[in-house]
């Protein structure tokens, strides 16, 4: 799932959407020079930035349908890492997560709740493992694995609480 700026909502995506990281916890482009009110990489800006006209998004919308650069294009040659990324993507599939959310409390013995909690725990553990054992820069994690589920699930009406090794899900 990704936030589609054109549609103004979260949508399932067929492929990765790689974008420039924001400054800190904001969506402001890391290359935007606020005091100068300009792009610091203007002459070398990405294609999407060249096509973007805030007042008319049609050109950018056309680019959405083109073959986009994916994480696989950039990371598939990194031995071992791509397998981990791909495995994570399959295990933390948002179609499955949406199905589980739709069935919270409806299945016997809360199996949907248990499975969803296991997926979230896996997501948290992979993030921690890649940093601790793989010595990966934590700033790379969103690119490699997407935002952590505990941060994205509130948009689905689910708050995640973690205490020790236990995951608790609360509908909001």
Residue 8 in any domain: the answer is no
Give the model confidence (pLDDT) of 42-101 as tens digits. Answer: 999 888 788 777 666 677 777 776 777 788 888 899 988 999 999 999 999 999 999 999
Residue 26 in any domain: the answer is yes
Residue 170 CB contacts under 8 Å (≥ 6 apart), including other chains:
158, 159, 160, 161
Residue 11 in any domain: the answer is no
Q: Residues 21-37: what's their mean pLDDT?
A: 82
CA distance 102 to 31: 40
Whether 98 and 51 share a structural domain: no
Instruction: Identify the domain containing residue 151 by its residue range.
Output: 72-171
Q: Which residue has the higher pLDDT, 36 or 109?
A: 36
Whether 54 and 131 share a structural domain: no
The answer to whether 171 and 158 are in contact (CB under 8 A) is: yes
Residue 76 CB contacts under 8 Å (≥ 6 apart), including other chains:
82
Whether 45 and 80 share a structural domain: no
CA distances from 123 to 1, 20, 77, 94, 119 (A): 15, 23, 23, 12, 6
Domain edge (last residue) among 67, 97, 124: 67
Number of domains in the chain: 2
The answer to whether 62 and 48 are in contact (CB under 8 A) is: no
CA distance 92 to 149: 8
Residue 63 in any domain: the answer is yes
Is pTM beyond 0.85 here? no
Whether 45 and 76 share a structural domain: no
CA distance 63 to 69: 11
């Amino acid at each position: 799932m990704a936030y589609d700026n054109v549609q103004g909502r979260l949508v399932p995506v067929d492929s990765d959407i790689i974008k420039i990281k924001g400054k800190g916890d904001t969506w402001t482009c890391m290359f935007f020079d606020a005091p100068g009110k300009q792009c610091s990489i203007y002459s070398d800006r990405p294609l999407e930035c060249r096509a973007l006209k805030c007042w008319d998004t049609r050109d950018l919308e056309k680019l959405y349908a083109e073959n986009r650069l994916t994480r696989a294009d950039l990371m598939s040659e990194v031995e071992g890492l791509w397998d981990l990324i791909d495995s994570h993507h399959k295990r933390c599939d948002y179609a499955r997560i949406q199905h589980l959310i739709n069935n919270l409390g409806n299945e016997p013995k809360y199996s949907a709740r248990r499975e969803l909690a296991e997926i979230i725990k896996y997501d948290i553990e992979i993030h921690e493992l890649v940093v601790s054992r793989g010595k990966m820069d934590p700033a790379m994690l969103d690119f490699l694995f997407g935002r952590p589920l505990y941060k994205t699930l509130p948009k689905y009406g689910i708050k995640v609480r973690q205490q020790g090794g236990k995951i608790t899900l609360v509908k909001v």
